A and B are shown apart, each in its own frame.
Chain A
Amino acid sequence: MALSAAEVLAGLAEIVTDETGIATDVIALDKSFTDDLDIDSISMMTIVVNAEDKFNVKIPDEEVKNLLTVGDAVNYITKAQG
């Protein structure tokens, strides 16, 4: 059973908080991973791998660079659950 976008956001926010310590309520759809949340490429790859595990999806490396905002990632994961 696929999760809703809101559920994906909540799950992704947990992963980001766990990796970075950023408060979960700051992690909103319009936030940029690099500009707003100051997440570097190493943390981003850790978040991606943890998200793959949590949501049982594949996020190819070449796709990661297109995930500029939290919303981009939530959309990608929501669709990829298929």
Chain B
Amino acid sequence: MFKKVVVTGIGATTPLGGDSKSTWENLLAGKSGISTLTQEWVTKHELPVTFAGQAKTPATEVLTLQEAKRLDPSSQFALIAAREAWADAGSPEVNPERLAVDYATGIGGVWTLLDAYDVLKERGPRRVLPMTVPMLMPNGPAAAIGMDISARAGVRTAVSACASGTEAIANAFNRIRNGEVDVVVAGGSEAAIHPLPIAAFAAMQALSKRNDAPEKASRPYDIDRDGFVMGEGGGALVLENEEHALARGAKIYAEVVGAAVTSDAYHITAPDPEGSAAARAMIGAIEQSGSSIYDVVHINAHATSTPVGDIAEYNALKRVFGDHLSKIAVSATKSSTGHLLGGAGAIEAIFTVLALHERTAPPTINLDNPDPAIELDVVTSPRELEGSNILAITNSFGFGGHNAVVAFRSTN
């Protein structure tokens, strides 16, 4: 007998705000979290891209000095988001052996690794800090959360590039659904606004080079989109067995009703232009929900603002929804936040949950000239979502051909 799974807490720190509330408000207000980078390393390395979505509230302003010193920025964001989500859920009393963490990152502790290499080259091995390994490991964010909330039912890390955050939520959902655990803190974070990842993503022509207008650079579905914009931060959701949540009188945002993960086996970075595996992920999540495609009223699209990626996702959407696609309100929130890589799926899951709970689909900004090849009903100003028991899905796709989709149903 499968268990019902609900969302009882949310937390985030993003380019739009230091918590989930301010992030959501700024998202609805159509603000951009993207700005010019003023760090000296941008000019020192003559980076071809000079902007990104930096966390609105620096993590070091929230954590104690000692906490921050022992955590890579990716773990700092994770801990901040998880603590907000945990408090939002009412800091529940949970049997630690029924409490788990599924928390993702796309890259891991890239700042720690590269800083340590600089120290090694300049000052020798004796000066490489002993905390380097636990700080750079990709499971560091999950482990930091696990220790903070005393989760003893397993702390896991999905690593599937830009699908990581959504895959982590899918994994968490299945553990509760299968009755293995009662509560999971799930999500993902990323802190890769560092000259090396910027240079590397730019080298593969993945990043927008709109250096003269950073706030306009992330423009999914626009004819003039020229790549994605890196963002940083993290998101966390408290997923809970519904019976467990009801027994303690918890506030419920929405129900998690389905999740699916598929893979393209097509190309290491390019999406399959047919989108068949991406479509299967969407269908899998919707089928698991027991609903049909006609119940889906809202999609938080992956929509990174790359020329080929947005088209490939559109092709997949057409495969899944056919004529019903024109009735679905599609939001491309990376237009405001930039692309948080391993954290993207987490904050977009939060946006999807809030869209259902608040009955408001968030806007897509910078859609000045819609690409005529993409016939979607893109939400450009906050739009009311009507009805009860409505369904929404969030899509995430990652280099490596990873596709991850989670479906949510309204409960209010």
Q: Which of under 10, 10 to 19, 20 to 34, or 35 or more describes the interface residues of B?
A: 10 to 19
Report the separation of the CA atoms of residues A19 and B65 in the bound assembly, to the nearest whole angstrom. 9
B131 & A21 in contact (Cβ 8 Å cutoff): no
Q: Which of B64, B66, B126, B134 contacts A19 (CB 8 A)?
A: B66
Q: Smallest distance from the beta carbon of B151 to chain A beta carbons, Å? A: 21
**Residues of chain A at the chain B interface (Cβ within 8 Å):** 18-21, 41-42, 45-46, 49, 52-53
18 contacts between A and B (CB under 8 A): A18-B65, A19-B66, A19-B69, A21-B64, A21-B65, A41-B130, A42-B130, A42-B131, A42-B134, A45-B130, A46-B129, A46-B130, A46-B131, A49-B126, A49-B127, A49-B129, A52-B126, A53-B127
Q: Smallest distance from the beta carbon of A68 to chain B beta carbons, Å? A: 19
Interface residues of B in 112-163 (CB under 8 A from A): 126-127, 129-131, 134
With a cutoff of 8 Å between Cβ atoms, the chain B residues found around residue A21 in the complex are 64-66
Q: Which residue of A lies closest to B67 (CB)?
A: A21
Report the separation of the CA atoms of residues A20 and B131 in the bound assembly, to the nearest whole angstrom. 13
With a cutoff of 8 Å between Cβ atoms, the chain B residues found around residue A49 in the complex are 126-127, 129
Q: Smallest distance from the beta carbon of B122 to chain A beta carbons, Å? A: 13
Report the separation of the CA atoms of residues A46 and B64 in the bound assembly, to the nearest whole angstrom. 18
Report the separation of the CA atoms of residues A41 and B134 in the bound assembly, to the nearest whole angstrom. 13
With a cutoff of 8 Å between Cβ atoms, the chain B residues found around residue A53 in the complex are 127
> What is the count of residue pairs linking A and B with beta-carbon distances less than 8 angstroms?
20
Q: Which residue of B lies closest to A21 (CB)?
A: B66
Interface residues of B in 29-81 (CB under 8 A from A): 64-66, 69
Query: Taking chain A's interface residues, is the majority helix, strand, or loop, or is none over half, making it mixed?
Result: helix
Q: Smallest distance from the beta carbon of A60 to chain B beta carbons, Å? A: 11
B66 & A20 in contact (Cβ 8 Å cutoff): yes
Report the separation of the CA atoms of residues A66 and B134 in the bound assembly, to the nearest whole angstrom. 26
Interface residues of B in 81-134 (CB under 8 A from A): 126-127, 129-131, 134
Q: Which residue of B lies closest to A42 (CB)?
A: B130
Q: Which residue of A lies closest to B128 (CB)?
A: A49
Report the separation of the CA atoms of residues A20 and B130 in the bound assembly, to the nearest whole angstrom. 14
With a cutoff of 8 Å between Cβ atoms, the chain B residues found around residue A19 in the complex are 66, 69
Q: Smallest distance from the beta carbon of B101 to chain A beta carbons, Å? A: 22
Q: Smallest distance from the beta carbon of B70 to chain A beta carbons, Å? A: 8
Q: Which residue of B lies closest to A58 (CB)?
A: B126
Q: Smallest distance from the beta carbon of B127 to chain A beta carbons, Å? A: 6
Report the separation of the CA atoms of residues A49 and B128 in the bound assembly, to the nearest whole angstrom. 9
Q: Smallest distance from the beta carbon of A8 to chain B beta carbons, Å? A: 20
With a cutoff of 8 Å between Cβ atoms, the chain B residues found around residue A52 in the complex are 126
Q: Smallest distance from the beta carbon of A21 to chain B beta carbons, Å? A: 4
Q: Smallest distance from the beta carbon of A40 to chain B beta carbons, Å? A: 10
Report the separation of the CA atoms of residues A42 and B69 in the bound assembly, to the nearest whole angstrom. 12
With a cutoff of 8 Å between Cβ atoms, the chain A residues found around residue B66 in the complex are 19-21
Report the separation of the CA atoms of residues A18 and B68 in the bound assembly, to the nearest whole angstrom. 12
Give a binary string over B165-207; 1 marks a CB under 8 Å from any A CB, 0 the rest: 0000000000000000000000000000000000000000000
Q: Smallest distance from the beta carbon of A35 to chain B beta carbons, Å? A: 20
Q: Which residue of A lies closest to B131 (CB)?
A: A42
Report the separation of the CA atoms of residues A52 and B64 in the bound assembly, to the nearest whole angstrom. 25
Q: Smallest distance from the beta carbon of A23 to chain B beta carbons, Å? A: 12
Q: Smallest distance from the beta carbon of B150 to chain A beta carbons, Å? A: 18
Q: Smallest distance from the beta carbon of B220 to chain A beta carbons, Å? A: 43
The 8 closest A-B pairs by CB, nearest first: A21-B66, A45-B130, A42-B130, A42-B131, A46-B130, A46-B129, A20-B66, A49-B127
Report the separation of the CA atoms of residues A76 and B129 in the bound assembly, to the nearest whole angstrom. 22
With a cutoff of 8 Å between Cβ atoms, the chain B residues found around residue A20 in the complex are 66
> Max chain A CB contacts within 10 Å: which of B64, B69, B130, B134?
B130
With a cutoff of 8 Å between Cβ atoms, the chain A residues found around residue B65 in the complex are 18, 21
With a cutoff of 8 Å between Cβ atoms, the chain A residues found around residue B129 in the complex are 46, 49
Report the separation of the CA atoms of residues A21 and B66 in the bound assembly, to the nearest whole angstrom. 6
Report the separation of the CA atoms of residues A21 and B131 in the bound assembly, to the nearest whole angstrom. 16
Q: Smallest distance from the beta carbon of B301 to chain A beta carbons, Å? A: 43
